[in-house]
Structures are given as structure tokens and as C-alpha cells.
A and B are shown apart, each in its own frame.
Chain A
Amino acid sequence: MENLRVLVVDDEPGIRFGVTRVLQAFRVRVPESDGDVGFAISQAESGEEALSALAEGGPDILLLDHKLPGISGLEVLEKVAVRDQDMLTIMITAYATIETAVTATKRGAYDFLAKPFTPEELKATIAKTARHLLLRREAKRLAEEKRQVRFQFISVLAHELKAPLAAVEGYLQLLRDHVVEPGSPKSDEVLGRSLLRIEGMRKLIGDILDLTRIESGQKKRELGDVDVREIAGRAIETAQPAARARQITIEVHGPDRLPMRADPGELEIIFNNLVSNAVKYNRDGGRVDVTLAQADQTLVVRVADTGIGMSPEEVGQLGGEFVRIKNAKTRNVMGSGLGLSILKKLAALYDGDVQVESTPDVGTTFTVTLKRQ
């Protein structure tokens, strides 16, 4: 059980001992934390004593009498607030005047307790304060975690962009230094490879823009009545040139019209990702089957290829961002490693999900379910 440290500052021994007795046995249920929260209480009888206790490491909750001999409660508050501690203060006031309240709040007091107070009033105020404190800490922790993930994402991204850039730079230097004679067949090959790397970078940047647009929620969703079959058809047309070059057949199965309320742009990204991947990771002469079906309020999109497939371990790895399955078979396939992340985020917008089934050298089937909006 987590214990929050409480420091009671009051010159009246009765208050100090009363608070200690009541809070020692008190437990607060905090939904976000596992189990109850208890309290460990320490005492100070003057402002001076309070300040030296605070200097040694602040409590989580400060119960501070307003009227103290010597340094007053408000002065203590002022000195403490400057330090910006991760602590909440409850002012104990005998004659609660508006001015005191305003000053105390300005200096960062979280709540007030008017003397005399009952054990119930004390418990209610402490419970409220404890919950607020723990929620605030949790929010802070989550924000920090998010920041860390973001950093990691950016550093991997930089690396992913650096690699093709280094490749293109190397090829250009070969041409500049006439290691490869300009105009020779070799130079055509070098230029072709450079353009391929640039295309890969373009795809990566496009995927990142998609991903950030979805994540930031900045792009307004434009829900309208769309024909899923038509969008699937367009994605297939886009993939046709690449498919034809490798004698891959793409077929679509399902009703001729499949109306749905959705954002057409989002559906396009989903279908383009699914179909282009099914072509990319296919074998020459293979096939891609796009099956559309609806059950109740759910649209099921299944895209199956007859490609290189993945082992169960590789399927497990697939979830992470920038994860690309690296093996001899994927060596010549370009990808950003962001496709599945994008699919999952989009599916989540439709309360849906993405599932992957795969067998090495047989093929992979992606199933995306989307709930009607």
C-alpha cells in the first residue's frame, strides 16, 4: 500500500495529535492507483520548524495553520511555493476571511479547513486532496512517457531517412568523380538505384504525414456515404502497374455496391496500404484476393496474398513502428515499416481492428474490421 506523507503544522498540540490520530487509520480509495492509499504523519509546531522539515524533503500533503507564532502560515506558503514542490497544501484557518483565502490561493494553497473541524471534514478534505495529487502525478507520468516515445520515434525516423540519403549521396559522388562514366549503361543503373531510394524516402515521408495527421486529430474527419467497393477498386487500379509488371492478378470479391458511412480519405489509405503490401510481398505470378463483406454493423475487409509470408515470430514483431521484417526475401522490397501502425490507428477510429494470419512461402492475409459510424 502506498503511503502519502502528511506534515501537520499547528501550534495547538490538540490539533496536531487529533489530526495524527484520525489520519493514521484513514484509507483512501484511488481508482487509478492499485489498492488504497494510507498516510504517514509528521508534525511541526511552528513555521520555523515547518520550513526546516520541508527543506529536508517535502511531504506530499501539507496541513498548514494560518495563524502561527513567529513565521505565519502564509509566509511559509510563500517560501514553499517558490520551490515548486510536488505537494498540495491545505490551509487551516480559524477566522477564515476572504482576504486570507485569496492570498493563500494565490500562493498555491489547494484547499481550506476551517477550525474547528470534525474528523469527517478532515477526512473528506484529505481524501479529495490525495486523489487530486495522485491523478496529477499520473498525468505527469503519462506525459513524460509520451515524450519519451516521441523522442524514440524521431530518432528512429532520422536514422531511416539517413540511410537512403547516404545511398543517393554515394551514387552521386560516383557520377561526379567519373568513377561511373555519365551516359554509360552503368550510370543509368546508378541513377535508377538513386531514384528508387528517393522514392522510398518519399513513401516514408508520406506515411509519416498520414500517421501524424491521424494521431494529432488535426485533420477534420469528413464522414459521408461512400461505396467501399468503389474505393477498393481505385486502390487496385493504383496497384495494377506494379502488379502487372510481375504478373500478379488482383481480384475483388463481394457485393457490387457496399455503402458505408465513413471518411473516404481514411478508407483510401486503408485499401492502398493493404493492396500495395499484398503486391509488394507477393511472388511473381501470384495473386491478391480482396474480399469485402458486411455483418450487422461491421465491415470486414480481407486481403490475401500468395506471397513470401511470415513466421509466427515475424508476425509478432510486426506491431511496432518502423519494424520491417528483414530477411533474404524482403531484401529488395521497399517499405517504411509504418503501414501496420497506420492501419491500426485508422481501424481504431472505426472501433475496429487489424488481424494478420501468415504462413511462410504460402501467403499472408490481413483482415480489417470497421464498425459502421
Chain B
Amino acid sequence: MTTPPTILVVDDNPDFLEQMKLQLEAAGFQTVAAESAQQARELLPTTDFALAICDLMMEHSDSGFTLAHAIKRKDPAIPVIMVTAVASEAGVTIDASSKGERAWAGADVILDKPVRFEQLTREISRLLKLPH
């Protein structure tokens, strides 16, 4: 049996981070958690992971974007899922319908908070080309 893929989860909300970790572990993934974009950046050189889930607004309102770009620089093949509360808090929707927009954001998928976990696992399976 192969080892389950590792997912990097980055969120400055400790509760959200913990809940995400518990969900992902229950779904059979391994997790690495970081509480800030800075901490995540420090982990990048030494940590191997198959996919990253980043909050958009952490230390700065664009922390998630810059982190996503750093991840893509490390390995363009690593998929990034960006989660954001922008829609529910400011009523702004990030238009990520086109491939170009998503590439600009550095994210393969952009999800609004609160994140539905079924949707998240579906996206993870699709991005990692997992069976089921």
C-alpha cells in the first residue's frame, strides 16, 4: 500500500486550521499545518507535499496569493486550493472561472469560506487524480 499524500494547510485562524486538519486526516491524508504564510514559506524548502490549501487573507490581505506563487516556484506541479472569506465578509467574488485568472491568482481552485468539506475532498481527488 502506498503512503497517503501529504497536504499542506495554511490558515491563521487556529480553529479553522485544526478543523481542516482533522477532516483531512479522517479522510486518509497526512497533513502539515502552518499558521501563517511566513511559517509556510519557512517550511517550503524542507517539506514535501502533494497539494496545498491556503487561506487568502493572513498577515496581509494578499498573503495567500504570494504564498501560492512561492509554492508554484518550488514546484509548478503542486496544486494549490485557495480558500477565502472575502465573499462572505466583503461581498466580493474573485472571478476564477477562467484558466488565466486562476493562473494569475496562483491557485488551481478558489473556494469560498465556509468550505463544504465534500466539495473540498472532491477537488483534492480531482487535482491529485486519485481514484473514487
Please report A residues at the B interface, Cβ cutoff 8 Å: 159, 163, 166-167, 170-171, 174, 179-180, 186, 190, 193, 197, 328, 331-332
B15 touches A174 (CB 8 A): no
Known: A159-B89, A166-B114, A170-B16. 13 other contacts (CB 8 A): A167-B13, A167-B15, A167-B16, A167-B19, A170-B19, A171-B19, A174-B22, A179-B23, A180-B22, A186-B22, A328-B36, A331-B14, A331-B35
In the assembled complex, B1 has its CB within 8 A of some CB on chain A: no
Closest 5 A/B residue pairs (Cβ)? A167-B15, A179-B26, A170-B19, A174-B22, A179-B23
- List, sorted by A's number, 16 A–B pairs whose CB atoms are closer than 8 Å: A159-B89, A163-B13, A166-B114, A167-B13, A167-B15, A170-B15, A171-B15, A171-B19, A174-B22, A174-B23, A179-B22, A179-B26, A180-B22, A193-B18, A197-B15, A331-B14
Instruction: Give the Cβ gap from B12 to chain A, nearest Cβ, in Å.
Output: 9
> B35 contacts which chain A residues (CB < 8 A)?
331
**Chain A residue, CB-CB nearest to B27:** A179
> B114 contacts which chain A residues (CB < 8 A)?
166
Please report B residues at the A interface, Cβ cutoff 8 Å: 13-16, 18-19, 22-23, 26, 35-36, 89, 114
> A197 contacts which chain B residues (CB < 8 A)?
15
Instruction: Give the Cβ gap from B20 to chain A, nearest Cβ, in Å.
Output: 9
> A193 contacts which chain B residues (CB < 8 A)?
15, 18
Bound-complex Cα distance A14 to B114 (A): 75
A174 touches B19 (CB 8 A): yes
Bound-complex Cα distance A260 to B36 (A): 49
Instruction: Give the Cβ gap from A213 to chain B, nearest Cβ, in Å.
Output: 30
Instruction: Give the Cβ gap from B39 to chain A, nearest Cβ, in Å.
Output: 9
> A180 contacts which chain B residues (CB < 8 A)?
22, 26
Bound-complex Cα distance A180 to B15 (A): 14
Instruction: Give the Cβ gap from A179 to chain B, nearest Cβ, in Å.
Output: 4
> B16 contacts which chain A residues (CB < 8 A)?
167, 170
**Chain A residue, CB-CB nearest to B89:** A159
Instruction: Give the Cβ gap from B18 to chain A, nearest Cβ, in Å.
Output: 7
Bound-complex Cα distance A166 to B14 (A): 12
Bound-complex Cα distance A174 to B15 (A): 12
Bound-complex Cα distance A159 to B18 (A): 21
Bound-complex Cα distance A170 to B18 (A): 10
> A159 contacts which chain B residues (CB < 8 A)?
89
Bound-complex Cα distance A179 to B26 (A): 6
Bound-complex Cα distance A180 to B36 (A): 25
Bound-complex Cα distance A197 to B18 (A): 14
Instruction: Give the Cβ gap from A7 to chain B, nearest Cβ, in Å.
Output: 46
